[in-house]
């Protein structure tokens, strides 16, 4: 019996240029590093983290560019992928990683809090995916990865606008996987606790990790490895991989 072929990698039909939104820091930076290691030139999008984006571009050897844009602004979103193409060439990989994350509840959510989440978290990925599908060169293949959240499988009444935006992006992931097949594969990752949120105490984050079924959180490098796996497996589309130590199963040792 022949040995199994375990040499899967990103298809050579995928243009070696990627756009990562929110790529200057945190999970986005790990995804940028992974793509650079795979030979991609990377357009690193940022909103306010210019210094981090510039430092990351230097770290990966300068093979890419940095692009500022407010993803809550439709006009900025509409031109973002074309700016990446103008700087680096045809884009084959789109990672919709940038995300607004603020607490609101049913009782205090406003139109403003709704728009602060739905525009960058849902509308921007939709418009960028449309643009990639339109601009992908003939005979090329494309890859889209949407960064979600395990809570789309583990709903709570908290962070209502954020949760709705991510749940809708999960539906969009599956819809795009159907609409853009067979040329473009569309998948998602749903992280659990990876890094403390900007306003989260370390002790609270540690407790969240301890309460997962596996008793720990994930890491940016693990997220990047999962992204590479999804990009490399040619039969996977319309899927979300929950990297959350089982948090989406809604059980903890304390329950």
- Asked whether the beta carbons of 9 and 85 are under 8 A apart, the reply is no
Is the pLDDT at 15 greater than 60? The verdict is yes
Domain boundaries, the chain: 17-249
List the 142-147 sheet strands across, edge first. Answer: 64-68, 41-46, 17-20, 93-96, 142-147, 184-191, 240-243
Is the pLDDT at 7 greater than 70? The verdict is no
- Asked whether the beta carbons of 35 and 59 are under 8 A apart, the reply is no
Q: What is the pLDDT of residue 8?
A: 80
More confident residue, 109 or 172: 172
More confident residue, 210 or 252: 210
- DSSP letter string over the chain? -PPP-----S-TTS-SEEEETTTTSHHHHHHHHHHHHTT-EEEEEESS-HHHHHHHHHHTTT-EEEEE--TT-HHHHHHHHHHHHHHHS---EEEE---------TTT--HHHHHHHHIIIIIHHHHHHHHHHHHSPTT--EEEEEE--GGGGS--SSSHHHHHHHHHHHHHHHHHHHHHTTTEEEEEEEE-SSS--TT--HHHHHHHHHTSTTSS---HHHHHHHHHHHHH-TT--S-EEEESTTGGG---TT-
Q: What is the pLDDT of residue 103?
A: 84
Distance from CA of residue 24 to its chain's centroid? 13
Structure tokens that stand for 92 in this block: 């084959």
Residues 6+ positions from 174 with CB-CB distance below 8 Å:
186, 238
Q: What is the pLDDT of residue 254?
A: 54
Categorize the per-residue pLDDT at 183 as very low, low, confident or very high, splitting at 50, 70 and 90: very high
Residues 6+ positions from 80 with CB-CB distance below 8 Å:
19, 21, 45, 67, 69, 71, 128
- Asked whether the beta carbons of 45 and 20 are under 8 A apart, the reply is yes
Distance from the first to the final alpha carbon of the chain: 48
pLDDT tens by residue, 218-253: 999 999 999 999 999 999 999 999 999 899 998 766
Q: What is the dihedral of CA 62, 63, 69, 75, to 10 degrees?
A: 150
Categorize the per-residue pLDDT at 255 as very low, low, confident or very high, splitting at 50, 70 and 90: very low
pLDDT tens by residue, 17-59: 999 999 999 999 999 999 999 999 999 999 999 999 999 999 9
Categorize the per-residue pLDDT at 102 as very low, low, confident or very high, splitting at 50, 70 and 90: confident
CATH superfamily of 17-249: NAD(P)-binding Rossmann-like Domain (3.40.50.720)
Q: What is the pLDDT of residue 85?
A: 98
pLDDT tens by residue, 126-176: 999 999 999 999 999 999 999 999 999 999 889 999 999 999 999 999 999
Once rounded to an integer, what is the mean pLDDT over residues 107-122? 91
Q: What is the pLDDT of residue 208?
A: 87
Residue 195: burial class (beta carbons within 10 Å; 0-12, 13-18, 19+)? middle
Structure tokens that stand for 133 in this block: 């599908």
Bond preceding residue 182 cis, omega within 30 of 0: yes
């Amino acid at each position: 019996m022949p040995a199994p072929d375990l040499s899967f990698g990103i298809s050579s039909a995928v243009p070696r240029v990627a756009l990562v939104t929110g790529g200057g820091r945190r999970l986005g930076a790990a995804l940028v590093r992974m793509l650079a290691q795979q030979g991609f030139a990377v357009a690193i999008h940022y909103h306010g983290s210019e210094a981090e984006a510039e430092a990351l571009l230097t770290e990966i050897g300068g093979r890419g560019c940095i692009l500022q844009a407010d993803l809550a602004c439709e006009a900025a979103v509409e031109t973002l992928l074309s700016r990446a193409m103008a700087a680096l060439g045809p884009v084959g990989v789109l990672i919709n990683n940038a995300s607004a994350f603020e607490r609101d509840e049913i009782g205090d959510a406003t139109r403003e809090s709704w728009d602060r989440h739905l525009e960058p978290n849902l509308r921007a990925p939709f418009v960028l995916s449309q643009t990639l599908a339109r601009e992908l060169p003939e005979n090329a293949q494309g890859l889209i990865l949407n960064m979600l959240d395990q809570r789309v499988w583990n709903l709570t009444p908290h962070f209502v606008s954020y949760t709705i935006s991510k749940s809708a992006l999960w539906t969009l992931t599956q819809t795009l996987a159907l609409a853009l097949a067979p040329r473009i594969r569309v998948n998602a990752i749903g992280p659990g606790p990876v890094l403390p949120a900007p306003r989260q105490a370390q002790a609270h984050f540690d407790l969240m990790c301890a309460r997962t079924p596996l008793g720990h959180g994930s890491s940016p490098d693990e997220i990047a490895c999962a992204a590479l796996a999804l990009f490399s497996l040619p039969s996977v589309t319309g899927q979300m991989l929950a990297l959350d130590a089982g948090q989406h199963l809604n059980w903890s040792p304390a329950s």
